Amino acid sequence: MDLFWHRRDLRVADNRGLAAAGDDTGEVASIFVFDDAVLEHAAPPRVAFMLDALSALRDRYRERDSQLLLARGDPSTILPAVATELEVDRVVWNRDYSGLARERDAGVHRALDAVDVPREAFHDAVHHDPDAIRTNAGDPYSVFTYYWKKWREREKSPPYPAQTPEDLVDANAVREATAELDAALETLPSIEDLGFGEPEAELQSAGTAAARRRLQEFCDGPIYRYESRRDYPADDATSRLSTDLKWGTIGVREVWEATAEAAETAESMTETDVGESDPEAAVEEFQSQLAWREFYTQVLFHNPEVVSENYRAYENPIEWENDPELIDAWRDGETGYPIVDAGMRQLRTEAYMHNRVRMIVASFLTKDLLIDWRHGYDWFKTKLADHDTGNDTGGWQWAASTGTDAQPYFRIFNPMTQGERYDPDAEYIQTYVPELSGVEPKVIHEWHELSETERHRIAPGYPEPIVDHSRRREAALEMFERARGET
Ligand code: FAD
């Protein structure tokens, strides 16, 4: 019998490690461990989504007459104890790629060594493991375009089959064998038991069925217009799969298979189906976003320090101003810049933000407010349900011009122009900034040009712009030029 350890792969279908467990030894028993050292870095939206996903996962095990064993404590103590108790042949899990996760896994390897239990870890969360795609000189890629060219040409594995009842250990057997174990939990803990309050945001439903629904709805229509509509936050034009991919409630191969089918359908589509969109290019654009996720995973894997250090070194330190009042206004969505405030309020209410708007608020924080990207990253980490160390540091360092393949320092988004271009009818803005509801979109997009008296008359409850974009743009350029040693 094998013991399978679920981590951020909360599903039974298309799970590479779980499919491999029991291959040689017949049966599989599965466990999830609430690890306090990991929970220390978590936040209410993520814990809430994880608990929902675990509840759905437990149901999948029950449907198969088995049981997902739950335990709380240090995996390097619990796994050897359970493995010994159940007399398993080996412990199996899927790899995780952040520095912290790798440290934890190294501890588990050592602890299993001490009790002589073999183990095997699989690459599952990505199609191509972080070492698989390298430059011709053998280095990891730091430029996405070249990485993508190789990534897309590589063959993708089909989904792995789900475990069947015959493969899984009978629920009673698991219960009996672990009855004496102090760390075992009878029931799923509540969010309070884990030391967190309820999230203030309304979350998407979790679990494989919900993830599959999202994938299906996306592939039934929006995927064919993805390239032309993905930047418009008021459109429901993206997949909303990021939290599912973060927690592994759906497998990457299953997502890929759906996109490959969409690519075939796209070939035979006509203009009446998709208007001005190019459906084949649209599907490929979506596939390239899946590759961005793997690109950032390999950046993190090869450079674990990017969670707290600039990837790209400037000659001098960047002299961020880090004004605490400006940080607060940004977090609260009270900057007086409508598209920025809408994004920051979407983050609070949905634990999610549209990608275009993430880019705008990140640029605003770093290049209008001159605040170190790490403050933004820390806030996103506490508020996003889809927080993923690789993608989040990748996105922030891109916006701050400190990352791999980042936005050049002199490319500074104008938040008013961005709002006008990507939310022309101010539909997204008005959804999240009720103070501006009923205000003409044209007026919203000229907000900074109105006089203070006019702004107050039109929307008395809405804050004044906290900075002047043109002046701050100049200040940001000077800050980066000093960092580059040019002034
Ligand atoms: P879709 O457009 O439907 O894309 C499909 C999938 O591709 C996403 O679910 C995601 O897994 C991946 N993807 C899409 N865009 C990117 C991207 N730019 N970089 C890497 N992967 C991408 N994404 C996260 O998953 N977690 C984060 O913590 C995160 N933080 C970000 C922070 C900043 C400052 C920025 C600019 C971007 C961040 N992103 C993050 C990337 C992106 O914004 C989200 O993946 C996307 O908005 C999720 O919505 P979706 O699932 O509808 O995406």
Would you call 230 exposed, middle or buried from its count of C-beta atoms within 10 A (0-12, 13-18, 19+)?
A: buried
> Quick one: three-class SS letters along 298-361?
HHHHHCHHHHCCCCCCCCCCCCCCCCHHHHHHHHHCCCCCHHHHHHHHHHHHHCCCCHHHHHHH
Q: In this structure, which residue's CA is closest to atom 2 in ligand 1?
A: 238
Helix locations, 208-278, DSSP H = 208-219, 226-229, 242-247, 252-267, 271-274
Report the separation in Å between the CA atom of 183 and the middle of ligand 1, taken as the mean of its atom positions: 36
Helix locations, 93-224, DSSP H = 99-114, 144-153, 171-178, 208-219
Ligand 1, atom nearest to 392 Cα: 30
- Which pLDDT score, from 0 to 100, does residue 256 have? 98
Cβ–ligand 1 contact at 384 (below 6 Å): yes
Task: Say whether 241 counts as a known binding-site residue.
Answer: yes
CATH of domain 208-302: 1.25.40.80
| CB of 412 closer than 8 Å to CB of 481 | no
Report the separation in Å between the CA atom of 242 and the middle of ligand 1, taken as the mean of its atom positions: 6
Report the separation in Å between the CA atom of 45 and the middle of ligand 1, taken as the mean of its atom positions: 17
Report the separation in Å between the CA atom of 355 and the middle of ligand 1, taken as the mean of its atom positions: 6
pTM: 0.96
Tokens 């271009």 belong to residue: 421
pLDDT 10s per residue in the chain (487 long)? 999 999 999 999 999 999 999 787 678 999 999 999 999 999 999 999 999 999 999 999 999 889 999 999 999 999 999 999 999 999 999 999 999 999 999 999 999 999 999 999 999 999 999 999 999 999 999 999 999 999 999 999 999 998 887 788 887 877 777 777 878 888 999 999 999 999 999 999 999 999 999 999 999 999 999 999 999 999 989 999 999 999 999 999 999 999 999 999 999 888 777 777 899 999 999 999 999 999 999 999 999 999 999 999 899 999 999 999 999 999 999 999 999 999 999 999 999 999 999 999 999 999 999 999 999 999 999 999 999 999 999 999 999 999 987 789 999 999 999 999 999 999 999 999 999 999 999 999 999 999 999 999 999 999 999 999 999 999 999 999 999 998 7
Q: In this structure, which residue's CA is closest to atom 33 in ligand 1?
A: 395
Task: Say whether 180 counts as a known binding-site residue.
Answer: no
- Which pLDDT score, from 0 to 100, does residue 292 have? 97
Ligand 1, atom nearest to 381 Cα: 28
Q: How far is CA 170 from its chain centroid?
A: 34
- Which pLDDT score, from 0 to 100, does residue 165 have? 78
- Nearest CA-CA partner of 175 in 86, 308, 89: 86
CATH topology of domain 1-125: Rossmann fold (3.40.50)
Cβ–ligand 1 contact at 214 (below 6 Å): no
Cβ–ligand 1 contact at 294 (below 6 Å): no
Q: b/e per residue, 437-465, with b = 16+ CB within 10 A?
A: eebebebbbebbeeeeeebeebbeebbeb
Cβ–ligand 1 contact at 362 (below 6 Å): yes
Of 214, 226, 293, 307, the residue with max ligand 1 atoms within 8 A of its CB, to mutate for a pocket test, comes to 293
Q: In this structure, which residue's CA is closest to atom 47 in ligand 1?
A: 355
Write out the CATH class of domain 324-483.
mainly alpha
Task: Say whether 268 counts as a known binding-site residue.
Answer: no
Does the interface ipTM go beyond 0.90? yes
- Which pLDDT score, from 0 to 100, does residue 309 have? 94
Cβ–ligand 1 contact at 350 (below 6 Å): no
- The interaxial angle of helices 279-302 and 252-267, nearest 10 deg, is 150
Cβ–ligand 1 contact at 296 (below 6 Å): yes
Q: In this structure, which residue's CA is closest to atom 29 in ligand 1?
A: 392
Q: In this structure, which residue's CA is closest to atom 30 in ligand 1?
A: 392
Phi, psi of 227 (to 5 degrees): -60, -40
Q: What are the boundaries of each domain within the chain? A: 1-125, 208-302, 324-483
Report the separation in Å between the CA atom of 144 and the middle of ligand 1, taken as the mean of its atom positions: 15
Task: Say whether 368 counts as a known binding-site residue.
Answer: no
In this structure, what DSSP letter does residue 81 have?
A: H
Cβ–ligand 1 contact at 126 (below 6 Å): no
- The interaxial angle of helices 324-332 and 373-383, nearest 10 deg, is 30
Cβ–ligand 1 contact at 144 (below 6 Å): no
Cβ–ligand 1 contact at 230 (below 6 Å): yes
- Which pLDDT score, from 0 to 100, does residue 25 have? 66
